[in-house]
Amino acid sequence: MKYYIYLIFSFISFGQVVFAQEMIKTSTKAIDVIHLFSAGNKIEWAVPISKNEKILLQWEERNTSFTQSEGIRSFVGYHDKNLVAVISILNSTISGNIRWKDKEIVLKTSEDGFLILYTESSNYKCGTCANGHCHTNEPSTKRPVLLSDSDTPTPSIPNTNVLRIYRLAMAVSYEYFSDTSIIGFSSKVEEVKKFWATKEMELNEVYTRDLGIRFEVVKEEKLISTQRDEISGRNADYIINNATKIINSKIGEKNYDLGIYIAKVTEVAGLAYLENAYKTEKAAAVALVSRPVIMHEIGHLFGARHTFSITSPSRPQIDPASDKTEMSTGQSIMSYGYPRDFFSLRSIQMIREKLVNVPYFSDTNRTQKVGNHPSVTNFPYGIAIQNQPPTIDKTKIKASYKIPKETFFQFYIPAQDPESKSLLYAAHQTDIRPERQASNARFLTRKATSSNPVTFQTEYSEKSRNEMANTRPNAVGTFTFWLGVSDAQPQKVSDYISQYDMAQTQVIIEDGTPFKITSLMEKNYKGGDNVQLTWSVDSKIFDKKTSKVRILLSDDFGKTFKYTLAASTENDGNHTIKLPNISVKAIAFGEQKWNVNAGIIKIEEIDGIAYALTTFDPKVGGFRITRDPSSPEILTFTKTPEASISVSCEAIPNANNSQFETSGCDLVNITHTDTKINGSCANTYTIKRVYTATGCGQSVNFEQTIFVRDDKSPVFKEPLPTNVSVEEGKIPEQMHLTATDNCSNNVQVIKSKEEKEENGNRVIIYKWEASDECGNKATHTQKITVIPSEINFVGELLKNMTVTCEKEIPSVPTLSASGNCNPKVVYNGETKSNEKCKNDYVLTRSWTATNDCGKSITHTQVITIKDDVKPVFSGNLPTDISVEENNIPTQVDLTATDNCSEEAQVTKSQEERQENGNKVIIYKWGASDECGNKVTHEQKVTIKKSSQPTPPTGGVQPPTGIEPTKEMIVYNGVSTESGSENYLKIEPIENYKNLQIEIFNELGQKVYESKNYQKNGEVFRGYANVKGVFRKGKRLPTGTYFYVLKYQDITGKLNTKQGYLFVR
């Protein structure tokens, strides 16, 4: 079946909002009532409900969010265990609400101190059919997954041991705050606070009793609009779509859990989004000041749909947003009818099936969240309260019952509470008709009461004695009923949580002869009279061979049936009973205290639901019985326990004579006998207990059947292990658990284990199963999620890199790791390799991440330092020139810079040669860094011959014996091979003296020196003769080397020559 989410709202018939139908100023002074209530927290006060009428209520004080902080005292008024009124007292004023019969009465204090009453309009109708459209276009938004499919063959109401507490923000519009009429707050903040206190109390009486929800109204004055604002003049649709945002801006989204706007919207009485109590938009609701409207719209926020069948008797439209489980306009809070002071079982089920899945905060600071649900984003505070739910003995409830039309029927709901709490019983027709299906509701939905059985019969008004509409059971068809029982304690002051059990059955009503008493009753009888009773029995529906009935007597006009006239007799339509010798008189009925004869006889089907009554029309009355003083009373049980009970094996009641009351003899002795009938196992059996009362020569029996059951599972003794997540290597062993049982002494506990994988993690499931002699089992599982001990470095890891110089190497960063088992990171340091020079090597750094589970990972970064950039000469470099012989420039000194080295070593050399008959001098400069990167520059100086006169014949000649100087020749190829004559050789050696030489490698490091080169066999053959980079006498590697030669020529002039040599 399809589910849709609807916008839920209520509107006022004919578009008019009528707030006060009648206003009465009473003669009761508020101060006198306040003095009465100051006497204690439990008071009796007859509250006025009209000019001449009062009702006596039992009042109990309730603490609200405003009791301590604002001094507002709040009270609830009960009548016959039903909540009727609420009031709040502040200073000398009283305000509140009274709900009596079909009246909704608002109570306030006049300016001169008297109580004022006005009846509030209850003409609030179907919101989803506002303006008559009834959702003609079906919305396309499906209902959330959170809403489970609840109309199943075996419905139930989920239980929870958590009372969920919502901070309720009730924002008040400026139009209400400034209104000086009786419905407004006259610009008085204290009036708003009394309103808040009263609404908190009203809501809590119902929502706590029926649902397990408690509200704390937020006491923030910022929620009161003291001037016109964004809400003023807006329609309801705008308000609910913006209310959350507005309330968030007023008090902050973290300071409330649920919100509703109290505003004067004219087109509707209320509007809300379904299930928004579980969402971020948690204040999507608006309502008038009316109590039922506020309760109704908040019900929508929690997920309850409409329950009425039609929107209005005058406009019987079908609402697709209603489940249509209630007759006409309905009776419960989620309807538009009367009395609207309770939730139906259907509404309770819809809300509870979502509520029990709502995570909650276990601390008031709202930091410790319990539970998780993907569809819930709004979490209340929760109080854990241990409470075992009641149980219905469903074996005694048939899947269906068949009765003829116009037959009264009733449901005895066989239920017990394990903590012996009093129970509330309800039977609601729940034929769910979604969307546009026509309603099948034919029976009124009534609030749960302490009365059992729950009956369906014609009822009469206590105001007029006329038959009440919709009470005569005249429908034909098949009707589904939910039978519910709860252990709610509505008058309990402390926190409690209501628990439920529910069963489902069907009532099949067919055309046929109604089950009715046909014998005419006299008006007066004497005790001991025999009365021939006849009743109609449809043989097609009731099997006369097996069907039996019980005949009872009421002496209070049908409120109770204390006397058993026939415990069991054939359902054959005829039986003679003897009236007990008791006095049954007239009693008062209704508001006018009409006298009616109180005697009524009831014939009820045993193991069925049909029953019939003698005349019970209050305009006619029942019958009287006059006690015959000359005759002894017939010994009769006037009070008995239940004829059939189902108990747990540990709770078998002892025979108890105090359960009985008798009439007909003053001295009665009661005895009993028990007969045990074995059942399916040791602790499941039946006891037939027969009580016998004897006295005055008479005896009477009462048979009680006790069905003993063992349906409770064993209970583990030890604290149960919880689900845990552990690291590898720390998996706990499976514990040994023991268990006890309510009936069996021998409880066996079996352990088992399984492993699986979830979300990539290894999961171990430990399971314990305890079983008793009747096969009841209790299981517990512990889920152990094994957390992987993998670790990872955090962030982007350092990449390998290349830099030019050592000074560009980045500093060592600090790395961190993530993962389990306490991860930590250690820097392992750095190592050098392939080192060729200061700025040419490989640097390797590494970090290792480890954890306590023995896992480790390492990250390595390789930094390559490679200086391949040559030095750069500074300044302007000498250019090639041509000069005359007498004008030859000397070689200048150059400097150079380097990207890595602080200084670059610059060497100079020169060489000469002839070009085109001219002498050419080549000045050379070489700049090198520490890694042998070298840059050179040359300047070519061409020397032009000067014009000289031809010397005369016989002129001066060079001295005899002196030959022209030859140019120096340097043989720069050097071989290190043994016996080779390829050494660094200079010729003609005889033309030079004082030869001093230094030889450098490519890095500028000196490898050889001599101050008297090529004398005495001192020559360079490729071997080092200085200490330093190379060991003295060690053969040098093959490569290019640089020499600097200083010498004197034959004229004694000091010269320098530089150049390259090659070693192989």
HEC per residue, 168-194 = EEEEECHHHHHCCCCCCCCCCHHHHHH
Other CB atoms within a 10 A radius of the CB of residue 684 amount to: 18
Check: CB of residue 337 under 8 Å from CB of residue 290.
no
Q: What is the pLDDT of residues 346-360, one digit of tens each?
A: 999 999 999 999 999
With a cut of 80, say whether residue 826 has pLDDT above it: yes
- pLDDT band for 221, please (50, 70, 90 cuts): very high
- pLDDT band for 419, please (50, 70, 90 cuts): confident
Predicted local confidence at residue 314, as pLDDT: 72
Predicted local confidence at residue 9, as pLDDT: 41
Predicted local confidence at residue 951, as pLDDT: 44
Query: E strands, 851-984, where?
Result: 856-866, 872-873, 881-884, 896-897, 905-915, 918-928, 934-944, 969-971, 973-974
Question: Cα(370)–Cα(160) distance, rounded to whole angstroms?
Answer: 13
The mean pLDDT of the chain is 87
**Cβ partners under 8 Å of residue 327, min gap 6:** 309, 439, 441, 442, 443, 444, 445, 470
With a cut of 80, say whether residue 664 has pLDDT above it: no
Predicted local confidence at residue 51, as pLDDT: 76
Predicted local confidence at residue 781, as pLDDT: 94
- Measuring CA to CA, how many Å separate 248 from each of 238, 259, 354, 447? 16, 10, 25, 37
- The candidate with the shortest Cα–Cα distance to 1029, out of 1001, 995, 989, is 1001
With a cut of 50, say whether residue 134 has pLDDT above it: no
Q: What burial letters (b/e) apply to 761-776, b meaning 16+ CB within 10 Å?
A: eebbebebbbbbbbeb
Predicted local confidence at residue 121, as pLDDT: 54
Check: CB of residue 12 under 8 Å from CB of residue 120.
no
Residue 555 carries which DSSP code?
A: S
* Six token digits for residue 677: 């009938």
With a cut of 80, say whether residue 77 has pLDDT above it: yes
Considering only residues 959 and 580, tell me which one the structure prediction assigns the higher pLDDT: 580
Kindly report which listed range (112-126, 216-230, 852-866) carries the lowest average pLDDT score: 112-126
With a cut of 70, say whether residue 868 has pLDDT above it: yes
Please report the domains of the chain, with CATH numbers, ordered by start residue.
Answer: 23-120 (3.10.450), 162-304+343-384 (3.40.390.10), 389-510 (2.60.40.10), 513-631 (2.60.40), 639-708 (no CATH), 715-786 (2.60.40), 791-866 (2.60.40), 872-943 (2.60.40), 969-1063 (2.60.40)
Which of the listed ranges 599-613, 722-736, 905-919, 981-995 does the model predict with the highest average pLDDT? 599-613
With a cut of 60, say whether residue 142 has pLDDT above it: no
Residue 577 bridge partners (DSSP): 531
917 phi-psi bin (left φ>0, alpha ψ -120 to 50, beta other):
left
What is the CA angle 620-623-629, rounded to 5? Answer: 155
Predicted local confidence at residue 122, as pLDDT: 52
Predicted local confidence at residue 316, as pLDDT: 77
With a cut of 60, say whether residue 961 has pLDDT above it: no
Q: What is the pLDDT of residues 543-563, one digit of tens each?
A: 988 999 999 999 999 999 988
Question: Cα(1046)–Cα(1032) distance, rounded to whole angstroms?
Answer: 23
Predicted local confidence at residue 957, as pLDDT: 41
Question: Cα(417)–Cα(413) distance, rounded to whole angstroms?
Answer: 12
With a cut of 90, say whether residue 864 has pLDDT above it: yes
* Six token digits for residue 421: 């709490």
**Cβ partners under 8 Å of residue 735, min gap 6:** 718, 721, 766
Predicted local confidence at residue 117, as pLDDT: 86
**Cβ partners under 8 Å of residue 533, min gap 6:** 517, 519, 551, 574, 575, 576, 577, 601, 603
Give the pTM: 0.63
Phi then psi dihedrals of residue 373, to 5 deg: -150, 125
Mean predicted confidence (pLDDT) in 971-980:
83
- The candidate with the shortest Cα–Cα distance to 350, out of 489, 169, 482, is 482
* Percentage of the chain modeled with pLDDT above 70: 92
- pLDDT band for 153, please (50, 70, 90 cuts): low
Predicted local confidence at residue 745, as pLDDT: 85
For tokens 């100023």, what's the residue? Answer: 25
Q: What is the pLDDT of residues 769-804, one digit of tens each?
A: 999 988 888 999 999 988 877 888 998 899 999 999
Q: What is the pLDDT of residues 82-131, one digit of tens each?
A: 788 999 999 899 998 888 876 788 889 998 999 988 876 555 543 443 43
Mean predicted confidence (pLDDT) in 475-488:
97
Check: CB of residue 72 under 8 Å from CB of residue 66.
yes
Question: Cα(609)–Cα(604) distance, rounded to whole angstroms?
Answer: 7
Question: Cα(807)–Cα(303) distance, rounded to whole angstroms?
Answer: 70
How far is the first Cα of the chain from the last one, in angstroms, to the nearest whole number? 98
